[in-house]
Amino acid sequence: MAGPASRSSAQKAPSSRSGLLRCIAITILVLVVLTGLAVLIIWLVVNPRRFQYTIEDGLVHGFDLNHNHLNASFDFAIRAYNPNSKVSLYYDSIEVYVAYDDQTLAMDVVKPFFQPHRNATRLEVKPVARSVPLLDSVSEDLRLEKTSGDVELVVRVKARIRFKVGAWKSTKCTMKATCSPVVLHLSSSKVFDRTYCDEDF
């Protein structure tokens, strides 16, 4: 009588194993679909939108080039706008760089602050270049631009930020924005043209 019993249990084993596998596969599939749905719903509710940076005003004083060294005092008003209605931001640090042909001329920092949702904050930065050594080519090109009365620079914003959605806070992320060309008029009579920045996360 041992024969048929062992045969029937041997027949049963593979079908119950494939049943278990199917059950695990379905459970995983359901979890994946539910996770996807949850992410989609959170995304739709939070509706994240890009932060916007604009250079509203720019000035330079004491722009002097001598023996491939630069002295200049820059003055920028940057508008940082958070268009989100559910995301607020902690700016833990903001660095603003002024560059020409990939060569950094000056930088300044902004004090850490918290930006509520749907808020525009005006940041004032005053990067100073004091006897900054320049490459020959950079010095020559800047000299030519100075003669024309306008210099075209690049302003880069680099920030360490954390998001806040409800009570949840993200870990620190790096946000970078590039504003180009920022045209500064050496004769103070001309009005600064607002420059929009491209944010690259």
* Residues 110-139 interacting with ligand NAG (rule: CB under 6 A): 116, 119-121, 130-131
Residue 71 interacts with ligand NAG (CB under 6 A): yes or no: yes
Distance of closest approach, residue 130 Cβ to ligand NAG, in angstroms: 6
For residues 79 and 120, what is the distance between their CA atoms, to the nearest angstrom?
7
Q: Which is nearer to ligand NAG, 46 or 65 (CB)?
A: 65
Q: Which is nearer to ligand NAG, 19 or 62 (CB)?
A: 62
Residue 42 interacts with ligand NAG (CB under 6 A): yes or no: no
Distance of closest approach, residue 147 Cβ to ligand NAG, in angstroms: 16
Distance of closest approach, residue 121 Cβ to ligand NAG, in angstroms: 5
* Binding residue for ligand NAG, selected from 66, 148, 187, 188, defined by CB under 6 A: 66
Q: How many binding residues for ligand NAG (CB under 6 A)? A: 11
Instruction: Give the interface with ligand NAG as residue ranges (CB under 6 A).
Output: 64-66, 69, 71, 116, 119-121, 130-131
